[in-house]
């Protein structure tokens, strides 16, 4: 039987304004259990002008039981690493689908660039 793992969603919110009148951002943590993680591929371009750079993209599959708000502008902590969520993922709706997971979420991390 397939079983997912727990992840943490970081949801942004405005906490106030700085000395220049610009909004300051804080993060609220939300736990999500039973998420499937497809690690995807990493790139480490040897010929890059920044040879220590690393880009990592992965796919998360959220369970049908997830009823949280939009994931737009959120981040995800997966296996101890922080990623940004790409776009505004939406669950599949209508009709029958054969699994307990119904939303695909692409995450990305870009270190050293």
Report how far residue 54's alpha carbon sits from residue 41's, in angstroms, rounded to the nearest whole number: 11
Please name the residue ranges forming H helices in the chain. Answer: none
Q: Walk me through the domains of the chain, giving residue ranges and CATH numbers.
A: 5-40+54-111 (2.40.10.270)
Answering whether pTM is above 0.85, one says no
Q: Is 113 exposed, middle or buried (0-12, 13-18, 19+ CB in 10 A)?
A: exposed
69-97 pLDDT, tens digit each? 899 999 999 999 999 999 999 988 766 66
């Amino acid at each position: 039987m397939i079983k997912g793992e727990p992840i943490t969603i970081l949801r942004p919110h405005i906490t106030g304004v700085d000395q220049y009148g610009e909004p300051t951002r804080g993060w609220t943590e939300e736990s999500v259990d039973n998420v499937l993680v497809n690690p995807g591929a990493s790139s480490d371009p040897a010929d890059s002008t920044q040879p220590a750079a690393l880009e990592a993209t992965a796919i998360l599959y959220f369970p049908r039981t997830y009823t949280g708000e939009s994931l737009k502008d959120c981040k995800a902590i997966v296996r101890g690493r922080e990623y940004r969520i790409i776009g505004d993922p939406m669950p599949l709706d209508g009709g029958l689908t054969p699994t307990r997971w119904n939303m695909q979420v692409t995450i990305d991390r870009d270190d050293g660039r």
